[in-house]
Amino acid sequence: MMEKKTPASSADKALSPKKSKNARHLPARYKPGKFDVICGKGKGCFNHEGNKNFRQIVADHLVPYSEANTKLAKSGIVSSIIMMVRELSPGGGFIKRDAETGSWHEVGDHLAREKVGQTMRDALHHRYRSSTKSKKKRRQIEQAKAHASMETISNGNAEISSKIDDLNSKAALTSFNITDSDRQLAEMFTKANIEILRELNRLKDQRALGARTELDSLGQ
């Protein structure tokens, strides 16, 4: 009579030596420490103290990781992060709880590298988004300053004010005309800017001439 095999639990599958080097079961009453990285989803994992410390470790390695030119160099940084976590928590490391038995186990190198890689990509994405938002905000501030400066100038000169109004009207019309190419729009704005600059220079020369005339009259 053949002996019936007991189905392997999810933890046993995760600890398969072919799939996960350095994977191991943890003691029955093991509790995650402040340097253990819990692998899983949800706020419980994300807010665990060890996961917060882990994200800080990853953040400290973002610059060298993003500047690494080869896969080997990036892989070396990932390995150093894994070693650091395991040294800080020699009893645990990258751990996961088995849903069936409730016991904890170290997930091993394969899943640990996946965890570091995903966290690194998330951090780089967040950093890129933050940088993009910051650049967009600075650009909006500069545009607002330029607009305010142009408003001040145009309010004192009817010719410039007229050209700006004409440019805004053309921009509003062309924004709905899909046949206009980017090149045509660029040419329109360039032409308008040249005309505005010419008017500004004319106004500047006019003021300079008026100042010289006033000085000459005072000299007489």
Q: Across all residues in the chain, what is the average pLDDT?
A: 76
pLDDT at 210: 72
| 41-52 residue pLDDT tens | 899 999 999 999
**Which has the minimum average pLDDT: 29-38, 88-97, 196-205?**
196-205
pTM of the model: 0.54
18 band by pLDDT with thresholds 50, 70 and 90: very low
How many Å apart are CA 75 and CA 113, to the nearest integer? 9
Confidence band, pLDDT 50/70/90 cuts, at residue 17: very low
**pLDDT value for 178:** 46
DSSP-assigned beta bridge partners for residue 104: 97
Cβ(94)–Cβ(115) below 8 Å: yes
Q: 105 pLDDT exceeds 50?
A: yes
The better pLDDT of the pair 191, 134 is held by 191
More confident residue, 135 or 43: 43
Three-state helix/strand/coil letters over the chain: CCCCCCCCCHHHHHCCCCCCCCCEECCCCCCCCCCCEECCCCHHHHCCHHHHHHHHHHHHCHHHHHHCCCHHHHHHHHHHHHHHHHHHCCCCCEEEECCCCCCEEECCHHHHHHHHHHHHHHHHHHHHHHHHHHHHHHHHHHHHHHHHHHHHHHHCCHHHHHHHHHHHHHHHHHCCCCCCCHHHHHHHHHHHHHHHHHHHHHHHHHHHHHHHHHHHHHHC
Amino acid 114: pLDDT: 94
**Amino acid at the residue 18:** K
Cα 59 to chain centroid distance, Å, stands at 13
Query: pLDDT tier at 169 (50, 70, 90 boundaries)?
Result: low
